[in-house]
Amino acid sequence: MSDLYCVFGNPVSHSKSPSIHTAFAAQCRQDLRYEALLAPIDAFAASVRAFVAAGGRGANVTVPFKEEAFRLATRLTVRAELAVAVNSLRFDGAEILGDNTDGAGLLKDLTKNLEFAIAGQRVLLLGAGGAARGVVASLLEERPAVLVIANRNTVRAQELAQRFAAIATAARPRGCGYLELAGQSFDLVINATSASLAGALPPLPVAPSVFAPASLAYDMMYGKGETPFLAFARAQGAERLADGVGMLVEQAAEAFHFWRGVCPDTAPVIAALRTLAPAG
Ligand code: ATR
């Protein structure tokens, strides 16, 4: 019988994880089955236990269960501990091992696929929620010259920056509100807010632009066509634009490696997803 994997979410029917992992399995000749499972909002832990009892070997976890998965895990990787969120579970007897592959997925996309070297660059991270928290440690590992975290709720940004100050190997991260960005410019601007879900934009200053010449604007969201943030970044002079499809596939590849010990080739899978939903 094939090994069983799944993604838990609510909602989950839109998830691209089943097609991504099925493609990885075919490419790496791994005998596994991967499906999307809708967990009731108040019964995530029970859903995981039922899946393990049915022979499940591992699972991805998406909105809104990443914090609950963190609490459910009996053992955590260092990066999951730093993120205080888990997006990948591995079931090993009675043990539930929790990992977080989001930060590594973002880094792989930035450094390998987009060939953007973060070291010495000025980086602006927008948002201070779960999505932002999952990538701060990975960004700091690359030793940017500056890491500014901007959020509508300034205190949340400052607290997030503070949490990671101790592990900064170069500049310490700084948290602020959007107004404080006036007059500053950055080489990499990452949108980790959920604003795009509502078709909205983070309130970035317009003139002067926060996008330095030759900058890269990166939206962790993706969808059909250009996201509102990327359209804004283009109009504001960002030279390069990228949506979150590459990160989605790279974080999946990290999870696949966590489960199966093999690294799939992500390029053909990213290309296939782009054909289905072309980015702007
Ligand atoms: P997630 O896990 O997706 O990060 P979250 O923890 O609810 O979700 O965080 C959402 C983030 O998007 C927050 O940083 C939120 O800003 P506030 O903390 O100030 O609320 C940000 N966000 C959501 N809608 C936004 C908008 N229209 N403009 C700017 N930021 C927005």
Chain segment 67-83, per-residue pLDDT in tens: 999 999 999 999 999 99
Query: Tell me, what's the pLDDT at 199?
Result: 86
Ligand 1: which atom is nearest the Cα of residue 151?
A: 19
Ligand 1 lined by 155 (C-beta under 6 Å): no
Query: Tell me, what's the pLDDT at 78?
Result: 94
Instruction: State the distance between the two ends of the chain, measured CA to CA, in whole angstroms.
Output: 42
Spatial distance between the Cα atoms of 23 and 275, rounded to a whole number of angstroms: 15
Does one domain contain both 138 and 177? yes
Ligand 1 lined by 200 (C-beta under 6 Å): yes
pLDDT score of 279 more than 60? no
DSSP per-residue codes, 205-258 = -TTTTSEEEEEEEEES---SS--HHHHHHHHTT-SEEE-THHHHHHHHHHHHHH
Does one domain contain both 112 and 238? yes
Of 131, 105, 4, 1, nearest to 59 by C-alpha is 4
- Work out the average pLDDT over 96-119: 98
Chain segment 129-185, per-residue pLDDT in tens: 999 999 999 999 999 999 999 999 999 999 999 999 988 777 889 999 999 999 999
Does one domain contain both 174 and 59? no
Does one domain contain both 147 and 60? no
pLDDT score of 277 more than 70? no
Query: Which strand (E) or helix (H) includes residue 191?
Result: strand 186-191
Spatial distance between the Cα atoms of 132 and 97, rounded to a whole number of angstroms: 22
Does one domain contain both 260 and 152? no
Q: Is 278 helix (H, G, I), strand (E, B) or coil?
A: coil
Ligand 1: which atom is nearest the Cα of residue 85?
A: 2
Q: Using an 8 Å Cβ cutoff, are 86 and 69 in contact?
A: yes
Does one domain contain both 120 and 229? yes
Q: Give me the residue label for tokens 């998830």.
A: 15
Does one domain contain both 71 and 112? no
Spatial distance between the Cα atoms of 31 and 184, rounded to a whole number of angstroms: 51
What's the token pair of residue 236?
A: 């504001």
Spatial distance between the Cα atoms of 276 and 268, rounded to a whole number of angstroms: 13
By percentage, how much of the chain surpasses pLDDT 70?
Answer: 98
Residue 278: pLDDT band with limits 50, 70, 90 = low
- Compute the distance from residue 129 Cα to the ligand 1 centre, in Å: 6
Domain that holds residue 107: 103-243
pLDDT score of 48 more than 60? yes
pLDDT score of 1 more than 90? no
Ligand 1 lined by 210 (C-beta under 6 Å): no
pLDDT score of 41 more than 60? yes
Binding site, by residue number, is 15-17, 62, 87, 102, 127-131, 220, 222, 244, 251
Q: Give me the residue label for tokens 């604003």.
A: 195
Chain segment 220-236, per-residue pLDDT in tens: 998 888 899 999 999 99
Ligand 1 lined by 251 (C-beta under 6 Å): no
What's the token pair of residue 192?
A: 């980790």
Distances (CA, A) of 245 to 94, 98, 220, 262: 34, 23, 8, 21
Does one domain contain both 114 and 59? no
Average pLDDT, the chain: 95
Per the structure, how many domains does the chain have? 2
Residue 280: pLDDT band with limits 50, 70, 90 = very low
- Work out the average pLDDT over 38-59: 98
Spatial distance between the Cα atoms of 143 and 163, rounded to a whole number of angstroms: 17
Q: Using an 8 Å Cβ cutoff, are 236 and 210 in contact?
A: yes
Q: What is the CATH number of the domain that holds 205?
A: 3.40.50.720
- Work out the average pLDDT over 3-24: 96
What's the token pair of residue 90?
A: 């591995």
Does one domain contain both 174 and 83? no
What predicted TM-score, i.e. pTM, was given to this entire model? 0.94
Spatial distance between the Cα atoms of 84 and 129, rounded to a whole number of angstroms: 11
- Compute the distance from residue 98 Cα to the ligand 1 centre, in Å: 24
